[in-house]
Amino acid sequence: MKSLTGKTLLAIATLTYLFMWVPAIMVIVFSFSNDKLGVRWEGFTLRWYSEIFSNVAVRDAFGMSLTVAVITVVVSTAVGTLAAYGLYKYKFRGREALRMSLLLPIIMPAVITGGALLVFFTRVLNVPLGYPSILIAHISFGTPLAIFIILGRMARIDWSLEEASADLGADRLTTWRKITIPVLLPAIIASAILIFPWSFGDFTITFFVAGAGDTTLPIYVFSALRFGETAAINAISTIFVALPVAFLLLMGFYKRKK
Amino acid sequence: MFLRERIRELLAKYPYLPSVGPVSIWVILFVIAPLGVILYFSFLTTGDFGVILHIFTLENYLAMARSTVVEVFLRTLLFSTAISMLCLLLGYPLAYFIVMYGGRWKILLVFLVVLPEWTSYLIRLYALRSIVRSGGLINSVLLSLGLISSPLPLLYNPFTVVVGLVYGYLPLMVLPLYASLEGLDPSLLEASGDLGATPFRRFFTVTLPLTKGGVLAGILLTFIPAIGDWLVPLLMGGPGTLMVGNLVFLHFIDVGNIPAGSAIGMALTVIILLMLYFCIRAGGKEATERII
Amino acid sequence: MKRRILAISLVLLLAISLAAIGCGPKEGVEQQAEDPYEEYVASLPGGSFPVSPECFGQAIEEGELLIYEWPDWWPEEVYEGFSEEFGIKITRDAYATAAEVRTKFALAPETPFDLVCAMGIEDVISLSKVGAAGPINPDWAPNVWKYVPGKYLELASKYSSVAYHLFFTAYMYNTNYVDDPRIPSWGVLLEPEEQFKGKITLLDDQFMVVGSALKYLGYSFYSDNEEELMEAEELLMKLKPYVMEYSTWPLALVKEDEALIVHMWSGDGWFMHDEYEAILPVLPSEGADLGVGLIFHPVGSPNPAAAHLFVNYLFRPEVNAFLIEKIFYPPTHTAVLGLLPEELLPVVTVPEGYSDKCDPFDPRGVTGEGLKIRTKIWEELKS
């Protein structure tokens, strides 16, 4: 990196990384600070963590977010894998239309999707808001995501193995189980890795379709934000940042072991 | 059994049904239908106390011609264009750096960019707000360095909203750029260098055009979410920085006028769809296949 | 393989049956304990009246209560005391603005909350009009009928709401920074001195904001006169650059001396003063609205008996007094003033003659033209 170009790029890159990460790092740092407003350093303490772990509302919200995320991932990847397979392998009328409509949940602003689902559930379907409405909303976003990721992968796969298996007389289900799924597994896992944090951390859409008494962790944080008690939010935020980092580290170890 | 026969027939004629069927039903029921409902509601009107009257009217759309709404739309487009460009300006050097100088650390560097996207958007904005506000890090540092005598009101102005949007969407710009740059054939760059082009020239005549797809994708991926954003103005903007998303929320929830909110939402949707359409046309079929 | 499955199923079956037996009702034990209703009546403090036996029985059976409220406002002891005494679990959900509540119920009138706390008259009328009002049974909340004056009681039958305090839309200012001779006029907030640019917050509520401007200009809080509203709009648009945020609870900003003049309801002003001495509430000299703080009982309530039991508990003189002490609003409960500490009395009594300057609720302000124009102003103010 002796060239001027290299040096300039390094500088810009460093600044950009700092810009991206300093806010999060500061939140983590201050989550250990003994300051009620959570913006200054006033000595080390773990009180905020003990506070949120003993707070029933926080635990419930965490539980709800977790449950929703897990179910969303499972359903989205399942339906998504099937759909991606079908979209890739077959040509049929309406294929383009389906692909375009699958884009919709991803490109539409969350306020509009949330508002549309809210009106749809309450006014048209007359379905009470609650776990079902939240799950439907999340799965509606997660499935297209899974489809596009898996589809993207499918173009680079050697499908001859699958053909061979069929030629050798294996029925569809066996081929699916023994060849197709394992081959698609990296893509499926990749989509799960993206869908889970999205679902866990989603605020806007969940806010619109949540029912009476349903609080996910982001909704809890939003309420707390409005009403000022920010020190505990630092601790909760750290959890949000820590989860993907921990996961990444796990993946790193796993890869290294292999 | 008769039923099994029929199913077998159906599967033979439409082999794609079991795989594509479920998602199609889902999409029609929970994606298309709600949008259709919103479209329908945008042509209705309200009575007192938020009661929706099923009377066809164009008033919601006509009413959007009023100055506040037009201003908000223009402001939103302005902000989004600005942040898209800013993201490009910051993101391209970053992606270039990772690809050309990253070496062994490439994957890690990419993950460092992408990781913020895996935490909650709300939480990230909260973190940014924490350091920007009066008692936050930036002001504390400036104060302790003696550069200012009283805290700067960094929060609650349009500039902060732009910074917030860049902060929020920068990773989405870097990813496609990285993918595009990574896919470049290094021999092409070498060849142009051998032919006597300066690095500067080489960039503009070779690298940039070759990464056109990535740039376009990056612009799309930052511009479109940005015009629908409402959290940044809500948390960090103040009066005078509202974007279209906030306007939708205002009418939907604050005022309780679903038809008016629906109309604004529909207008925004149309803009996004048009944008997407033109970008796909410009990028050509391969770009579509690449993105989708 | 098959044997294994059989064995596991048998074990599971055994485990489930044991659990069912263990969790079943213990016959005979209930009969040995005293009748819980009699215990409840006997342990009631003086001045409190019991709910009917069927309400009590049903409430205990329901065992749960879902409250929709302003967070961090009522003291925890109120909820804890109730939960401990009756063994009823309370779950609380929070809202940020009354508008949210109105819209939620407008879209789904059977939204299953048991009680919605802290509503104003316009809110409960709105909720009733969309069909969200649930029946209130006087026998199930006798304390209310005993202690609340008649003129507020009709709100219970008409709009399923129990009035528990009065309020005025007002403002508060930071005594360390604000020294305006116009205090206590609305002008301090609505036409502030130059140096307070970006240091003002307004309530996130279109009716309160527009109404306050109207009162300052000498008109009715609930006016629907187009000219008057246009004047208010002009005033507010000039104020817009001074406004930092629209918030119904800017306590954090207040504590950091960032919000120096704050639009706030009277009692909440005293609440914040209690937390941060420098901030001082005033009752604007031009007058305001005659607000009534209400608890609303929705029709979709899954635990109506528990809801009534809670409201009845809330209107025990000592519980109500404790609540008033913490929220600093004038009570509707007629037996509470005597139970309050003396220094609190000036805060929780309406000053002589002030009510005359205030406007009681008038639907003209929240319907028809009045609503349309206010919505337009609100949109401009927020954009």
Q: Considering only CB atoms, which chain A residues are within 8 Å of C112? A: 128, 211-213
Tell me, what CATH number does C233's domain have? 3.40.190.10
Say whether pLDDT at B291 is over 70: no
Strand-pair category, C261-265 with C169-174: antiparallel
Strand-pair category, C169-174 with B52-53: unpaired
Using alpha carbons only, what angle is made at residue C216 by residues C215 and C221, rounded to the nearest 5 degrees? 15
Query: Which amino acid appears at position C377 of this protein?
Result: I
- The average pLDDT across C302-325 equals 94
Q: Nearest Cβ partner of B16 from A3, A86, A200?
A: A86
Does residue C327 fall inside a structural domain?
A: yes
Q: What is the 3-state secondary structure (H, E, C) of A186-202?
A: HHHHHHHHHHHHHHHHC
Say whether pLDDT at C24 is over 50: no
Task: Give me the percent of chain A exceeding a pLDDT of 70.
Answer: 98
Q: Nearest Cβ partner of B230 from A6, A111, A236?
A: A111
Structural domain count, chain C = 2
Does residue B45 fall inside a structural domain?
A: no
CB within 8 Å: B121 and A24: no
Band (pLDDT 50/70/90 cuts) for residue C226 is very high
Q: Would you give the DSSP letter of residue A230?
A: -
CA atoms of C360 and C287, how far apart (whole Å): 11
Q: Are A80 and A139 in contact (CB under 8 A)?
A: no
- C-alpha of C183 from chain center: 28
CATH of domain A57-257: 1.10.3720.10
CB within 8 Å: B225 and A203: no
Q: Are A59 and A72 in contact (CB under 8 A)?
A: no
Does residue B157 fall inside a structural domain?
A: yes
CA atoms of B74 and A77, how far apart (whole Å): 39
Token reading at C288? 């305001």
Q: Nearest Cβ partner of C93 from A122, A212, A228?
A: A212
Q: Nearest Cβ partner of A112 from B128, B225, B269?
A: B269
CA atoms of C117 and C188, how far apart (whole Å): 31
From the CB of residue B45, how many other CB atoms can be counted at a distance below 10 Å?
Answer: 17
Q: Does residue C176 sit in the same domain as residue C52? A: no
Tell me, what CATH number does B261's domain have? 1.10.3720.10
pLDDT in tens, B4-48: 888 888 888 888 888 888 999 999 999 999 999 999 999 999 877
Interchain CB contacts (distance < 8 Å): B and C: 78
Q: Considering only CB atoms, which chain B residues are within 8 Å of C240? A: 239-240
Q: Considering only CB atoms, which chain C residues are within 8 Å of B48? A: 129, 366-368, 371
Residue with tokens 């401007």: C213
Q: What is the pLDDT of residue B193?
A: 66
- The average pLDDT across C245-255 equals 89
pLDDT in tens, B230-266: 999 999 988 889 999 999 999 998 888 899 999 999 9
Q: Which neighbouring-strand residues pair with C119?
A: C294
CA atoms of A140 and C376, how far apart (whole Å): 35
Cβ neighbours for C210, distance < 8 A, ≥ 6 positions apart: C229, C232, C236, C374, C377, C378
Residue B126 contacts A, CB cutoff 8 Å: yes
A222 membership: H or E segment, kind and range: helix A217-226
| Host domain of residue C163 | 46-167+291-346
Which backbone phi and psi does C12 adopt, to 5 degrees?
Answer: -60, -45
Does residue B23 fall inside a structural domain?
A: no
Band (pLDDT 50/70/90 cuts) for residue C13 is low
Residue from B220, B217, B227 nearest B80 by CA = B227
Query: Which amino acid appears at position B77 of this protein?
Result: L
Q: Nearest Cβ partner of A104 from B31, B122, B231?
A: B31
- The average pLDDT across C348-376 equals 89
Does residue B72 fall inside a structural domain?
A: yes
Residue from A93, A101, A176 nearest B14 by CA = A93
Structural domain count, chain B = 1
Token reading at A109? 């602003």
CB within 8 Å: B122 and A201: yes
Q: What is the pLDDT of residue A116?
A: 95
C-alpha dist (Å) from residue C332 to A234, C287, C291: 40, 20, 12
* Cα nearest neighbour of A215 on chain C: C93
Does residue C262 fall inside a structural domain?
A: yes
Say whether pLDDT at C29 is over 60: no
C75 preceded by a cis bond (ω within 30 of 0): no
Q: Does residue C78 sit in the same domain as residue C62? A: yes
Q: Are C320 and C257 in contact (CB under 8 A)?
A: no
Cβ neighbours for B178, distance < 8 A, ≥ 6 positions apart: B95, B98, B99, B110, B113, B214
Q: Would you give the DSSP letter of residue A62?
A: H
Task: Give me the percent of chain B exceeding a pLDDT of 70.
Answer: 95
Band (pLDDT 50/70/90 cuts) for residue C148 is very high
- The average pLDDT across B79-93 equals 94
CA atoms of C150 and C198, how far apart (whole Å): 45
**Which of the residues B32, B35, B39, B234 would you substitute to probe the A interface, choosing the one with the greatest number of A C-beta atoms within 10 Å?**
B35
CB within 8 Å: C245 and B156: yes
SS3 call for A241: helix
Does residue B43 fall inside a structural domain?
A: no
Per-residue exposure over C153-191, b if at least 16 CB sit within 10 Å of its own CB, e if not? bebbeebbbbbbbbbbbbbbbbeeebeeeebbbbbbbbe
Rg (CA), chain A: 22
CA atoms of A78 and C141, how far apart (whole Å): 53
- As a 3-state breakdown, chain A gives helix, strand, coil percent values, each rounded to 5, of 80, 0, 20
Give the mean pLDDT of chain B: 87
Q: Does residue C132 sit in the same domain as residue C68? A: yes
Q: Considering only CB atoms, which chain A residues are within 8 Å of C102? A: none
- The average pLDDT across C99-120 equals 90
Residue from B287, B96, B286, B87 nearest B206 by CA = B96
Residue with tokens 């109309």: B263
Say whether pLDDT at A40 is over 90: no
C-alpha dist (Å) from residue B81 to A194, B74, B155: 27, 11, 21
**Which of the residues A227, A229, A230, A234 would you substitute to probe the C interface, choosing the one with the greatest number of C C-beta atoms within 10 Å?**
A227
Q: Which neighbouring-strand residues pair with C115?
A: C67
Token reading at A135? 């799950």
C-alpha dist (Å) from residue A240 to A137, A235, C272: 21, 9, 32
Q: Considering only CB atoms, which chain C residues are within 8 Å of A213? A: 66, 91, 93, 112-113
Does residue B36 fall inside a structural domain?
A: no
Q: What is the pLDDT of residue C32?
A: 44
Task: Give me the percent of chain C exceeding a pLDDT of 70.
Answer: 92
Residue B50 contacts A, CB cutoff 8 Å: no
Does residue B62 fall inside a structural domain?
A: no
Q: Considering only CB atoms, which chain B residues are within 8 Å of C366? A: 48
What is the distance in angstroms between the Cα of B133 and the nearest Cα belonging to chain C? 10
Q: Are B226 and B79 in contact (CB under 8 A)?
A: yes
C270 membership: H or E segment, kind and range: helix C266-275
Within 134-163 of C, beta carbons closer than 8 Å to B belong to none
DSSP string, chain B: -HHHHHHHHHHHH-TTHHHHHHHHHHHIIIIIHHHHHHHHHTT-EE-GGGPEE-----HHHHHTTSHHHHHHHHHHHHHHHHHHHHHHHHHHHHHHHHHHH-GGGHHHHHHHHHHHHHS-HHHHHHHHHHHHSTTSHHHHHHHHTTS-SS----SSSHHHHHHHHHHHHHHHHHHHHHHHHHTS-HHHHHHHHHTT--HHHHIIIIIHHHTHHHHHHHHHHHHHHHHH--HHHHHH--TT---HHHHHHIIIIIS--HHHHHHHHHHHHHHHHHHHHHHHHHHHHHHHHHH-
- The average pLDDT across C32-48 equals 81
Q: Which neighbouring-strand residues pair with C89?
A: C64
* Cα nearest neighbour of B267 on chain A: A112
Q: What is the pLDDT of residue C23?
A: 45
Say whether pLDDT at A73 is over 60: yes
Q: Nearest Cβ partner of B240 from C129, C240, C379?
A: C240
Say whether pLDDT at B160 is over 80: yes
Does residue C6 fall inside a structural domain?
A: no
* Cα nearest neighbour of B114 on chain A: A20
Within 250-269 of C, beta carbons closer than 8 Å to B belong to 256, 258
Burial of A253 (0-12, 13-18, 19+ CB in 10 A): exposed
Does residue C41 fall inside a structural domain?
A: no
- The average pLDDT across C333-344 equals 90
- The average pLDDT across C206-221 equals 94
Token reading at B114? 């992408």
Say whether pLDDT at C28 is over 50: no
CA atoms of C347 and C167, how far apart (whole Å): 11
| Host domain of residue B182 | 67-291
Q: Considering only CB atoms, which chain A residues are within 8 Å of C247? A: 226
What is the distance in angstroms between the Cα of C112 and the nearest Cα belonging to chain A? 6
Q: Considering only CB atoms, which chain A residues are within 8 Å of B122? A: 201, 203, 218, 221-222
Query: Which amino acid appears at position B225 of this protein?
Result: P
CA atoms of B223 and B221, how far apart (whole Å): 6
Residue with tokens 């969940």: A206
Say whether pLDDT at A177 is over 80: no
Q: Nearest Cβ partner of A112 from B90, B265, B276?
A: B265
Q: What is the pLDDT of residue B5?
A: 86
- As a 3-state breakdown, chain C gives helix, strand, coil percent values, each rounded to 5, of 50, 15, 35
Torsion of CA C193, C198, C201, C206, to 10 degrees: 90
Band (pLDDT 50/70/90 cuts) for residue B151 is confident
CB within 8 Å: C256 and A227: no
Q: Would you give the DSSP letter of residue C188?
A: H
Q: What is the pLDDT of residue A258?
A: 58
Band (pLDDT 50/70/90 cuts) for residue B148 is confident
Q: Which neighbouring-strand residues pair with C294?
A: C119, C163
Q: Does residue C267 sit in the same domain as residue C364? A: yes
Q: Would you give the DSSP letter of residue A176?
A: I
Q: Does residue C245 sit in the same domain as residue C101? A: no
Provide the ipTM. 0.90
The Cβ-side half-sphere exposure at B25, using a 13 Å CA radius, reads: 6
Residue C96 contacts A, CB cutoff 8 Å: yes
Say whether pLDDT at A224 is over 90: no
What is the distance in angstroms between the Cα of C47 and the nearest Cα belonging to chain A? 34
Residue C369 contacts B, CB cutoff 8 Å: no
Q: What is the pLDDT of residue A41?
A: 81
Say whether pLDDT at C334 is over 70: yes
CB within 8 Å: B50 and C106: yes
* Cα nearest neighbour of A230 on chain C: C252
Q: Does residue C162 sit in the same domain as residue C179? A: no
Interchain CB contacts (distance < 8 Å): A and C: 45
Q: Does residue C247 sit in the same domain as residue C365? A: yes
DSSP string, A94-152: THHHHHHHHHHHHHS-HHHHHHHHHHIIIIII-PPPSHHHHHHHHHHHHHHHHHHHHHH
Residue from C260, C258, C248 nearest C174 by CA = C260
Band (pLDDT 50/70/90 cuts) for residue C27 is very low
CB within 8 Å: A112 and B38: yes
Say whether pLDDT at A154 is over 50: yes
C-alpha dist (Å) from residue C250 to B136, C257, C260: 17, 11, 11
**Chain C: touching chains (3 or more CB pairs < 8 Å):** A, B
pLDDT in tens, B111-142: 889 889 889 999 999 999 988 887 788 888 88
- The average pLDDT across A200-215 equals 91
Give the mean pLDDT of chain C: 88
pLDDT in tens, B168-203: 999 999 999 998 888 887 777 677 667 766 777 777
CA atoms of C239 and B49, how far apart (whole Å): 28
